[in-house]
């Protein structure tokens, strides 16, 4: 009987290229030769959406793999799924979810283009608690749950763009420690409750050191973030932060000082996201106007800024358009060295 | 010797010059003969170069022996030439490097490839050997489609693949067949290990 092994290796690779990611991961488990073949070239998922709802979880790669694991009345069965999962219908969705998710993201060679991680609701605890009898303390149990969602190894999951909406900051923190900081190019996150998500980022030194991280968008920060930490992310070329209260003039000065450490700055926007819990502040200026100041040691390049009622906007030497957040290509400006002890310097 | 004629097709007289309407004769490794139009041959880079290098005239095609394709059997070659005749004149696709590949399997191709897996793998092998890019694409897509939603164990059954254990056992058996002393040495080594020694010396 003729089997697939009669086909030359380069043809098998063509077959692999026709497979979707999940099938590729299954294919690599068939034999040693195929495992090597799939692993040799990086696996890549362009988009992966993982969404947690009240009683269901959805995985979707937008390329044909889409499964909704739904828990009805605590029965925990898979009720809605793509054609390939029809066979599994009615089976325990918790186990299936774990199997599918592990198959998708627990491969060291995998790179995810954009990971959308949306927590519309708390992660159903029954899904993610690790069977660890020693994890009696609440926090330990929380850690245990997360260890089952992602790679058990820290800093392994390669994601280029992360779009995350979490309910509480620790969820975001645990995501950060699973991601490989050297692969991340843009972060967009939102945290509903608790302290703001930026603080979690400030506590993740690997990310802050990553020069790949160029774009950062943070929404719904509950409290004004610690502006003194802003210099830690000033190497990002595009930063957009939504806070719950207006910045004072002192705070604006502090932001400006932090930005002078980044000669590659494109744009920073800090805007107020009003909510019932936001504390109204007196208006700072009626009319928006731009001001500018040169970088210390290099008067040819400047930072411009303006403060309107609900928005403080800063533009650096790399600013090149109206909507910088969507602009991928940046013109070549030689990278300049940041001044030392920037907080001690006085700027115009 | 059996002769299987290629399917009769309408030819656009205006588009194709008269001298191009030539049918070449090919012979499979089990001595089955096929007649294939020159335009259909263009789908195969290998055959196209071969007939160009031969420079046959219409008389040569009839008088000289059929061109032998020694690596492919008649059943497979028939499928290949049926495909080439159906798709003759079509542009040959260029690989754009995208992954996963976006390939649609036309209805004709789907019917043509409605065959057992063994023959399908032979067809892929032939498409690669004869360098027929689009046939290789659609046949690989067909094989890839067979993998959708399958577990590794199911995939092994579909692709008729041995498991790692079977594979290793086969390799070991082949090695032993080549060198019967190897097994004896291995057993001796295991025995010494059990007795506490790590070395033969």
Direct distance between the N- and C-terminal alpha carbons of chain B, in angstroms, rounded to an integer: 66
User: Taking CB atoms and an 8 Å limit, are B118 and A1 in contact across chains?
Assistant: yes
Q: Which residues of chain B make contact with A40, given a CB cutoff of 8 A?
A: none
Pair A155, A21 in one domain: no
pLDDT of residue B132: 93
Interface of A with B in 65-104 (CB under 8 A): 83-85, 87
Domain boundaries, given as residue ranges, for chain B: 3-153
Query: Domain for residue A7, yes or no?
Result: yes
Pair A80, A30 in one domain: no
DSSP letter for B52, please: H
User: Taking CB atoms and an 8 Å limit, are B150 and A23 in contact across chains?
Assistant: yes
Query: Domain for residue A26, yes or no?
Result: yes
Pair A313, A293 in one domain: yes
Pair A114, A244 in one domain: yes
ipTM for the complex shown: 0.72
pLDDT of residue B139: 93
pLDDT of residue A307: 79
Is beta strand B3-4 parallel, antiparallel or unpaired with respect to B33-37?
Answer: parallel
pLDDT digits (tens, 9 = 90+) for A193-237: 655 677 777 777 777 777 778 888 887 655 556 666 776 777 777
Counted domains in chain A:
2
Write the burial class of residue A57 (CB in 10 Å: 0-12 exposed, 13-18 middle, 19+ buried). Answer: buried
Pair A34, A182 in one domain: no
What is the maximal distance between C-alpha atoms in chain A?
Answer: 83
Please give the Cα distance from A223 to A245 (Å, whole number).
8
Kindly indicate whether the domain formed by B3-153 is annotated with CATH number 3.30.710.10.
Answer: yes
Nearest CA in chain A to B104: A18
Each as own residue / partner, the long-range contacts of residues A135-143 (CB below 8 Å, 24 or more positions apart, any chain) are A142/A170, A143/A174
User: Taking CB atoms and an 8 Å limit, are A2 and B121 in contact across chains?
Assistant: yes
User: Taking CB atoms and an 8 Å limit, are B124 and A7 in contact across chains?
Assistant: yes
Chain A touched by B170 (CB under 8 Å): no
pLDDT digits (tens, 9 = 90+) for A229-283: 776 777 777 888 877 777 777 878 888 887 887 777 778 888 876 554 445 544 4
Pair A36, A74 in one domain: no
Pair A32, A48 in one domain: no
From A4, A29, A30, residue closest to B121, measured CB to CB = A4
Give the count of Cβ contacts less than 8 A between chain A and B. Answer: 94
pLDDT of residue A64: 64
Pair A171, A206 in one domain: yes
Pair A153, A31 in one domain: no
pLDDT of residue B123: 93
Pair A89, A150 in one domain: yes
Pair A89, A33 in one domain: no
User: Taking CB atoms and an 8 Å limit, are B164 and A32 in contact across chains?
Assistant: yes
Considering only A26-40, A59-73, A108-122, A138-152, which range has the smallest mean pLDDT?
A138-152
Interface of B with A in 102-121 (CB under 8 A): 103, 117-119, 121
Pair A311, A209 in one domain: yes
Burial B66-94 (b: 16+ CB within 10 A, else e): bbebeebbbebbbbbbbbbbbbbeeeeee
- Has this prediction a pTM greater than 0.90? no
Chain A touched by B192 (CB under 8 Å): no
pLDDT of residue B110: 92
Range of A321's domain?
A: 44-326
Q: Can you tell me whether residue A119 is helix, strand or coil?
A: strand
pLDDT tens, N- to C-terminus, chain B (201 residues): 444 454 544 445 455 444 557 888 999 999 889 999 989 999 999 999 888 888 888 888 888 888 888 889 999 999 999 999 999 888 888 776 665 567 888 999 999 999 988 899 999 999 999 999 999 999 999 998 888 778 788 888 888 777 666 667 776 777 667 666 666 666 766 676 666 544 333
For residue A229, what are the CA distances in angstroms to A12, A177, A226, A232, A337? 51, 19, 6, 6, 19
Nearest CA in chain A to B129: A8
pLDDT of residue B200: 39
Chain B touched by A11 (CB under 8 Å): yes
């Amino acid at each position: 009987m003729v089997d697939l092994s009669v086909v030359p290796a380069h043809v098998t690779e063509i077959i692999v290229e026709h497979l979707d990611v999940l099938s590729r991961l299954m294919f690599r488990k068939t034999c040693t030769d195929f495992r090597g073949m799939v692993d040799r070239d990086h696996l890549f998922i362009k988009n992966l959406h993982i969404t947690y709802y009240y009683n269901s979880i959805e995985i979707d790669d937008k390329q044909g793999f889409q499964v909704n694991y739904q828990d009805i009345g605590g029965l925990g069965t898979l009720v809605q799924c793509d054609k390939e999962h029809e066979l599994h219908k009615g089976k325990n969705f918790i186990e299936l979810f774990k199997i599918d998710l592990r198959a998708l993201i627990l491969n060291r060679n995998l790179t995810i283009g954009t990971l959308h991680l949306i927590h519309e609701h708390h992660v159903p605890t029954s899904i993610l608690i690790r069977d660890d009898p020693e994890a009696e303390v609440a926090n330990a149990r929380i850690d245990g749950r997360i260890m089952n969602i992602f790679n058990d190894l820290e800093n392994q999951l390669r994601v280029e763009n992360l779009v995350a909406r979490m309910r509480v900051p620790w969820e975001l923190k645990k995501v950060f420690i699973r991601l490989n900081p050297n692969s991340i190019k843009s972060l967009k996150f939102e945290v509903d409750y608790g302290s703001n998500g930026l603080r979690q980022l400030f506590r993740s030194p690997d990310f802050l050191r990553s020069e790949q991280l160029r774009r950062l968008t943070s929404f719904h920060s509950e409290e004004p973030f610690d502006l003194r930490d802003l210099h830690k992310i000033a190497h990002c070329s595009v930063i957009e932060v939504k806070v719950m209260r207006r910045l004072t003039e002192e705070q604006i000065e502090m932001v400006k000082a932090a930005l002078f450490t980044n000669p590659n700055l494109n744009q920073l926007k800090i805007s107020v996201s009003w909510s019932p819990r936001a504390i109204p502040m007196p208006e700072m200026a009626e009319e928006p106007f731009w001001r500018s100041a040169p970088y210390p040691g290099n008067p040819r390049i400047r930072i411009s800024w303006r403060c309107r009622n609900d928005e403080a906007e800063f533009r650096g030497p790399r600013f090149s358009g109206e909507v910088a957040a969507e602009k991928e290509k940046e013109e070549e400006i030689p990278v300049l060295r940041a001044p030392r002890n920037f907080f001690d310097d006085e700027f115009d | 010797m059996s002769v299987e004629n290629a399917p009769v097709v309408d030819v656009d007289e205006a588009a194709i010059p008269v001298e191009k309407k030539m049918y070449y004769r090919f012979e499979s490794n089990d001595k089955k003969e096929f007649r294939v139009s020159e335009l259909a041959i263009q789908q195969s880079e290998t055959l196209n170069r071969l007939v160009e290098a031969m420079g046959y005239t219409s008389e040569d095609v009839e008088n000289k022996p059929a061109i032998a394709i020694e690596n492919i059997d008649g059943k497979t070659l028939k499928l290949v030439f049926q495909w080439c005749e159906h798709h003759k004149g079509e542009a040959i696709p260029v690989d754009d490097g995208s992954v996963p590949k976006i390939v649609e399997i036309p209805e004709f191709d789907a019917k043509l490839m409605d065959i057992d897996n063994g023959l399908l793998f032979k067809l892929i092998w032939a498409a690669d050997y004869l360098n027929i890019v689009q046939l290789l694409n659609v046949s690989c897509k067909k094989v890839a489609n067979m993998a959708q939603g399958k577990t590794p164990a199911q995939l092994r059954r579909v692709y008729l693949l041995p498991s790692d254990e079977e594979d290793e056992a086969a390799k070991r058996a082949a090695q032993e067949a080549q060198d019967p002393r190897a097994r004896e040495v291995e057993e001796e080594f295991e025995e010494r290990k059990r007795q506490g020694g790590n070395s033969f010396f």
